[in-house]
Amino acid sequence: MSRQDGSGRLYSPPGADDTGAHILHVDMDAFFVAVEVLDDPSLAGKPVVIAHNDGRSVVSSASYEARRYGVRSAMPLGLALRRCPNAIVVPPTFERYRETSAQVMEVFRSVTPLVEQLSIDEAFLDVAGARRLWGSPGEVAALIRERVKSEVGITCSVGAAATKHVAKMASTASKPNGLLVIPASRTQEFLDPRPAGAMWGIGPKAAEALSARAIRTIRDVRETPVAALARILGSAHAQRIHDLANGRDPRGIQTERTEKSISHEETFRTDVTDPDVLRGEILRLSDKVAVRLRRAGVEASGLAIKLRFDDFQTVTRSQALTEPTNVGQRIAQVARDLLAGVVMRAPVRLIGVRAERLVAQGSAALALWDDDGEWKQVDGALDRLTQRFGTGSVTRAAFLTRDRHLPDAERPPEDSD
């Protein structure tokens, strides 16, 4: 979810110069909220917060009316309601979001096959080859906005530029419900005055570190030697950021995205101190991660766990695996070992398991014998039963009585806008 509230947005008038601006970044406006308004028009124009109303939830998305009170994604719901006491809390309906996302992406693909979906509500498009059918990049961008509104019923913001980085920055600057076109020749003019923290890849901590050294705008980043940036950001990151500040971004559209990681995490109803409960939850999450790995036909060669304590301090631990795996019990074994190395300084609010460094299933060299053979048979049986009876219909017996700490629903992803 964007941190802006819609004030101070930039937009391009019809017929603006779009020379060389063939990369579009299309981002839905407050997507989760917009879908809820489709189903309940009475919510339109009101401060709406998408979250489970259980006192332990975090904000997944907020309307622009709520954002003006300082409500942000990933904010504890209690804090959001203190900032915006008149907010309307709406529980998320993920199946509707997925259905609407599919409709939006179908609109994109009807215009060009070169679509790279970034998340449930945003994508890059390369429209260089669409000129004969649909017109110039600016005309295509306007067409997409019109079709998303008329065919799906929600609004989107579009940035058009010569590179992915600038297109994404342009769409953010045009929110909500806007279109900003940056012709190739004016790339640097657009970039230079903008805050360094607006760059894709510079988070709040990096922006703070740069600001402490009087590097506050993208022009400042561009004029700072890479060696100096490396002392602040690290050598690999510094060169990339310096290139982006100079308008250099050679990345093209990837029509097939390979997931870099697969994760599941849960926020407990009540903070947990019992190590047995944490170990049990590790196993449950590991099973869910393993199912998704197998469905995707990949294995994990690295594993990480995440814990958030009751004071919202978060720690992670990770480990490379000697052999890639998508077996739930094996993932749980490693994750539990990582858990054992964490000092439990406070009660635990959230716990997560993440599979990393994914490789194609079966790509590792075969061993003479398989230590996980029996576990794989169990996983195979679970997969078949789940496919037949549905997700959640089959679970380990150990989980049937271990639910007093667990949330009513799995923690949702955050709306990227």
Binding site per annotation, positions for Mg(2+): 27, 121
Residue 305 and residue 352 in contact, taking contact as beta carbons nearer than 8 Å: yes
122 is catalytic: yes
Q: Which residue has the tokens 């100096």?
A: 228
Residue 62 token pair? 């907020």
* Cα gap 290→228, rounded to integer Å: 43
* Cα gap 412→372, rounded to integer Å: 32
**Angle, CA of 255, 289 and 356, to the nearest 5°:** 60
Q: Write the CA distances from 102 to 107, 148, 273, 405, integer angstroms.
A: 9, 12, 41, 34
Considering the candidates 116, 122, 281, 299, report the single residue annotated as catalytic: 122
Residue 417 token pair? 């806008």
Q: Which residue has the tokens 């299933």?
A: 361
Contacts of residue 298, defined as CB under 8 A and 6 or more positions apart, other chains included, come to 259, 262, 326, 358, 359, 360, 361
Known binding residues are 27, 121
Q: Could you count the other beta carbons within 10 Å of the beta carbon of residue 410?
A: 14
Residue 217 token pair? 């705008």
Residue 282 and residue 340 in contact, taking contact as beta carbons nearer than 8 Å: no
Q: Which residue has the tokens 């979001």?
A: 97
* Cα gap 255→27, rounded to integer Å: 17
Residues taking part in catalysis: 122
